Structure 1
Amino acid sequence: MSTDTYTALVNQPLGKKIAAALGLPQPVELRRHTPGQPLLDGLALVLGSGPAAQQVADQLLDWGVDVRRHAGAKDRFAAVVACFDAVQTPADLSDTALEVGQVMRQLGSSARVITVSADPSDATDPAARSARKGVEGLTRSLAHEMRRGGTANGLVLAGGTEMSAPGAVGALRFLLSARSAFVSGQFLTVGTSEGALPQDWDRPLAGKVAVVTGAARGIGEAIARTLHRDGATVVGVDVPAAGEQLAAVVNSIHGTSLQLDITAPDAGARILEHCRTRHGRMDLVVHNAGITRDKMLANMDAARWDSVIAVNIESQLAMNQAFLADQARDVVGDHLRIVSLASTSGIAGNRGQTNYAASKAGVIGMASASAELLAERGGTINAVAPGFIETEMTGKMPFLTREVARRMNSLSQGGRPVDVAEAISFLGSDAAGGTNGTVLRVCGQGIMGA
């Protein structure tokens, strides 16, 4: 992983003074998750007049958080949850929005602001839909205004889902926690009362068997290690050429490994058979394996195009078909969760990546179209779209290109592989059972695909 020396420098006293004097970005070291840490390092303020506000306050109290419903002049807040679930017209946004504004200077480092609102698409009245949609613009803009590593995200309640539903509670905790360090300006929609909360929030995947493709290095390795930390038994999958490194990763987390080419016609069947004979079940599949073969479209050949499409999306479609077949039920059961790696390139496009962007946009389409099928089986499928993440690959980029890419998000720094892994672990857990068919960006509110 490449080292961000600039961020380290501006977090030293002299570097901080120089950056401030020159008006340069001042990214801070983000608060990231470690097992056993408190959910928040300080007070939480809950605002709003609808039923969600009291439900949020009660839940936070149950988690041992010190909650305020009104801000004192000297209070310092680690989080603000602003509930807009009762708004019926755009004018209704004013009171709660301005209350949030009044406490912005009272937020600590790596603070969280969460908005809670009803799904705009559920409203047929133009005024109500415009008010709900207004919360989206408010939240995304507020995320750009956060300072010192703070983030702002939204929790959207769809289909009449209550804030007390397991999926809503799980989403709230993820967005408040240090697990969402590099998630900002994004929304999690909870559309059903499905899901279940873990007995131990530090081990939300306890007893689960998780398959991770491309697990030998980089983001895939971080995913495998994070899922293991969260209680899962991990099956690491990668190509035979990466077998030695795959074995080292999997052995260190007491999992099992499977060497195969995911584009092979029998890849899904082989994964199922491995899980059947070695573990007796398969609860979570993480489609992480992917490749790039970048060229301007004018210079693109069929080999580059076809190989990227085959690995990045066609293999996932074929494996999912195998996992959802009737003959797989003895392994998969009724609550399979699938999380696929997309990319901000698949949302906003990227110069020289028409093949890659097409494949990653295809992943998002696959998740959306497959959601109903998974829901019928009691499962879910979602996508995670990373932005600029510090890996060995980014470490080989030209210095200036890398530095610009790092600063082009609201947090003014690159993310880490573990940031992607944290989002995947959440979406693969039962606590995310109410979220299905969506894409969650892990990009620090990057300019591309923001």
Structure 2
Amino acid sequence: MTDSYTRLVNTGITKTLAKKLGLPRPAVLRRHRPGDPLTVGPVLVLSDAASKADADRVAQALLAWELDVRRDPVELRADPGRLGAVVLVLTELARPQDASEAVLAAGSVLRKLAPHGRVVTLSRARTEQDSPELAAARQGVDAFCRSLAKELRAGATGNGVVLTDGAAAGSTSALAALRFFLSARSAYVDGQLLEVGPTDAALPTSWDRPLEGQVAAVTGAARGIGAAIARTLARDGATVVCVDVPAAGEGLARTANAVRGTALQLDVTAPDAGTRLLEHARARHGRLDVVVHNAGITRDKLLANMDAARWDSVVAVNLASQLRINAQLLEAAERGEVSGLRVVSLASTSGLAGNRGQTNYAFTKAGVVGHTAATGPLLARHGGTANAVAPGFIETDMTRAIPFATREAARRLSSLLQGGQPVDVAEAIAFLASPAAAGVNGQTLRVCGQNMVGR
């Protein structure tokens, strides 16, 4: 679905007119294309005094990615060029007052941040064992990151990598998360803090094809976000099993053919759906590495007008089916039929903030967040992970049905002043599905341009 306003204020005479009138001008976001540079310019790495060693490790990793890495903000002030990103390492921050020099140094160069630039913080999660002073400093970084993200313009975003359980700043998953946030793959991810734990996983041999050799199943793959997920996983090297109901057979075949995968006509609410999915993947491709729970429906109604059919059907498709499939996959893992499984589920910002007329939908999407957090440790016993992606306003057939005025308002409420595209959801899923993201488990990553509906 086209966002006509964004197109108009970025082209021709209407662009000039919008500037003169001071109208909001959403940027045309820079999205990933294979072969494009990772960032749009040099990367400045800053830190507080205590985190300098970690900042050095991060800078070395960025240099290995062939990025132009800078360490001195003073030198940059006289440089006429633009910055592609600022990485602010605060992993060893111990007191709130110790953040001052580093954050103000970052602030001093923000006007040099290029359109589509990135700001990424690296910090540590607050724990129950922290002193009040340490807890205050660590929690402060979270809100600092979210607030800074709201100040950025021209398609620039701010996000944070939050280390847990003693994870090192230079660990595989920390660097993979940092690279995701720096890249155009995270175009519609803004103001998010992703917790990353320790892992023994290796970095991919090819960042363009991090899913090479993997077999992934995507439910609801016949169209929309599901089809975008299938295309993105295939682009990243995966063999894709495209799953949808028999009634969607034509669209399902089209998606499967486009990604050179296989099609499986399957109702996810079937009692043996998980077993059949695994059997198909193993019979046709020899293994199953990734399962993406994308299938979902809406049956919106105010609760006063809600009937059992609307409530129960949404619960059956959006939540109960995922729980049943996951249980069957866990049983298979215990039998040694699958290992290292990455499960990624579709939640929604409606499940995090609530939304009028969507009590049933919000219930199920919050349930996805809940079961993801609980399933993660169960899969970890078999080398796997469970994570979720919570889209906000995404340009799909579903949002096309929203009345015009409501749809336009919803588009402009995010920090990026626009809706996202199905590929934005797909990019986040592809990252969480990758072996390098093994240290991300039980998390829900919002893909919403820093907007929460319902609040």
Alignment partner, residue 403 of structure 2 = 398
Residue 66 of structure 2 aligns with an amino acid whose one-letter code is: G
CA contact under 8 A between 2:392 and 2:452: conserved in structure 1? no
CA contact under 8 A between 1:386 and 1:441: conserved in structure 2? yes
Alignment partner, residue 52 of structure 1 = 54
Alignment partner, residue 253 of structure 2 = 247
Measured in 1, the distance between the counterparts of 2:88 and 2:336 equals: 44
Shift of 1:449: 7.2
* Gapped regions of structure 1 (runs ≥ 5): none
Alignment partner, residue 222 of structure 1 = 228
Measured in 2, the distance between the counterparts of 1:400 and 1:81 equals: 38
CA contact under 8 A between 2:121 and 2:160: conserved in structure 1? yes
> Quick check: 1:347 aligned with 2:343?
no
> Quick check: 1:362 aligned with 2:367?
yes
Alignment partner, residue 83 of structure 1 = 89
Shift of 1:196: 2.3
Measured in 1, the distance between the counterparts of 2:372 and 2:22 equals: 42
Change (3 A) 1:380 1:168: same
Alignment of 1:27-106 (within 5 A): 27-48=26-47, 49=49, 50=51, 51-71=53-73, 72-73=76-77, 74=79, 75-106=81-112
Residue in structure 2 matching 1:209, options 215, 221, 226: 215
> Quick check: 1:18 aligned with 2:47?
no
Measured in 1, the distance between the counterparts of 2:125 and 2:307 equals: 43
Equivalent pairs: percent with the same residue? 59
CA contact under 8 A between 2:353 and 2:452: conserved in structure 1? no
- Deviations 1:263-314, CA, capped at 9 Å, x for gaps: 0101111111111211110000000000000000011011110110010010
Shift of 1:14: 2.7
CA contact under 8 A between 2:356 and 2:454: conserved in structure 1? no
Segment of structure 1 superposing worse, 110-119 or 45-54: 45-54
The secondary structure found in structure 2 opposite 1:356 is helix
CA contact under 8 A between 1:215 and 1:236: conserved in structure 2? yes
Scaled by the length of structure 2, what TM-score is found?
Answer: 0.96
Measured in 2, the distance between the counterparts of 1:361 and 1:316 equals: 13
The secondary structure found in structure 1 opposite 2:30 is coil
Shift of 1:19: 2.2
Residue in structure 2 matching 1:179, options 157, 174, 185: 185
CA contact under 8 A between 1:235 and 1:256: conserved in structure 2? yes
CA contact under 8 A between 2:229 and 2:429: conserved in structure 1? yes
The secondary structure found in structure 2 opposite 1:154 is strand
Measured in 2, the distance between the counterparts of 1:154 and 1:241 equals: 42
Residue 98 of structure 2 aligns with an amino acid whose one-letter code is: D
Aligned residues: 448
Alignment partner, residue 416 of structure 2 = 411
> Quick check: 1:261 aligned with 2:238?
no
Segment of structure 1 superposing worse, 115-124 or 54-63: 115-124
- Deviations 1:168-196, CA, capped at 9 Å, x for gaps: 11111101000000000001111122422
Measured in 2, the distance between the counterparts of 1:156 and 1:207 equals: 29
Segment of structure 1 superposing worse, 392-401 or 415-424: 392-401
Change (3 A) 1:67 1:122: farther
CA contact under 8 A between 2:177 and 2:437: conserved in structure 1? yes
Measured in 2, the distance between the counterparts of 1:19 and 1:377 equals: 55
CA contact under 8 A between 1:322 and 1:328: conserved in structure 2? no
Shift of 1:159: 1.1
The secondary structure found in structure 1 opposite 2:127 is helix
Measured in 2, the distance between the counterparts of 1:430 and 1:246 equals: 27
Alignment partner, residue 3 of structure 1 = 2
Measured in 2, the distance between the counterparts of 1:90 and 1:148 equals: 30
CA contact under 8 A between 1:85 and 1:118: conserved in structure 2? yes
> Quick check: 1:289 aligned with 2:288?
no
Alignment partner, residue 424 of structure 1 = 429
Note the aligned Cα RMSD (angstroms): 1.3
Measured in 2, the distance between the counterparts of 1:198 and 1:443 equals: 27
The secondary structure found in structure 2 opposite 1:59 is helix
CA contact under 8 A between 2:198 and 2:439: conserved in structure 1? yes
Shift of 1:337: 0.3
Measured in 2, the distance between the counterparts of 1:17 and 1:361 equals: 43
The secondary structure found in structure 2 opposite 1:120 is coil
Measured in 2, the distance between the counterparts of 1:7 and 1:421 equals: 22
Segment of structure 1 superposing worse, 103-112 or 123-132: 123-132
Residue 363 of structure 2 aligns with an amino acid whose one-letter code is: A
